[in-house]
Amino acid sequence: MTDLPLTTLTRVRRGAHHQVTDRAALYDVIDGALYATLAIVRDDRPIALPVGIGRDGDDLLVHGSTGSDFFRRIAAGAPVCVTVTHLMGLKYARSLFDSSMRYRCAVVHGVASVVRPEEKEAALLALSEHLMPGRSADVRPMTSREIAATMVLRIPLAEASVKDNAGSLVEVDDDGEDRRVWAGMLPLRVVAGEPVTSAQTVAGVAVPESVRRAARRIQESGTA
């Protein structure tokens, strides 16, 4: 895989030593995320909303209603910024100034292209596989009406930056801070609870393996 390019948009300006240009790190951040914050410019103002995401090779996938003004603007070529953040912990330094958060974050810049009708079902299945792996085999196929009502957008993972400050310490050797003050990390993770069966599901129908698998994926990565 090629490294992520450093451009005006992707060169991290603050905390640059935490920038990671390994493309695999970008895919790892995205694959461990169920949603991203998708930002566009509308009437000279920023507007940023959470959206479910998927990945198909070197493209990020998002989907929305064909009736959505937000998605229509993106389909029409409005530049997007897609931000994925995994908060991994709170870093308690010996001063408030040096305290911070531990996180992994990806920021993708680009212009989306609309997935063509003949490729839409495959793209929707890729999204479904990302969000609810194996679920498509549990349920009926999508109808052509459902497919038509959904817009799928492809955003190339070409101009993107990743920041990961996991390696940074809460202390340095000679910082002059009082080491009798506790310093450390409060780790944070996302966990999945026990699946809740809906009231109308026929009695005795077991929680599918696909749902257990989604729960395990989250348990293992600690992210969603």
153, 75 Cβ separation under 8 angstroms: yes
Helix/strand/coil (H/E/C) assignment for every residue in 85-112:
EEEEEEEECCCCCCCEEEEEEEEEEECC
Nearest distance in Å: CB 116, a second copy: 19
Dist. CA 211–CA 91, nearest whole Å = 33
Nearest distance in Å: CB 2, a second copy: 23
Three-state secondary-structure class, residue 71: helix
Of residues 55 and 94, the one with the C-beta less far from a second copy: 94
Of residues 52 and 58, the one with the C-beta less far from a second copy: 52
Nearest distance in Å: CB 20, a second copy: 15
Of residues 22 and 69, the one with the C-beta less far from a second copy: 69
Task: Kindly state the DSSP code that residue 174 receives in the 8-state scheme.
Answer: T
Dist. CA 186–CA 68, nearest whole Å = 40
Residue type, 135: R
Residue type, 63: H
Of residues 95 and 117, the one with the C-beta less far from a second copy: 95
- Report residue 30: phi and psi, to 5°: -70, -45
Q: What is the CA angle 13-35-187, rounded to 5?
A: 70
Nearest distance in Å: CB 24, a second copy: 21
Nearest distance in Å: CB 168, a second copy: 12
Of residues 57 and 193, the one with the C-beta less far from a second copy: 193
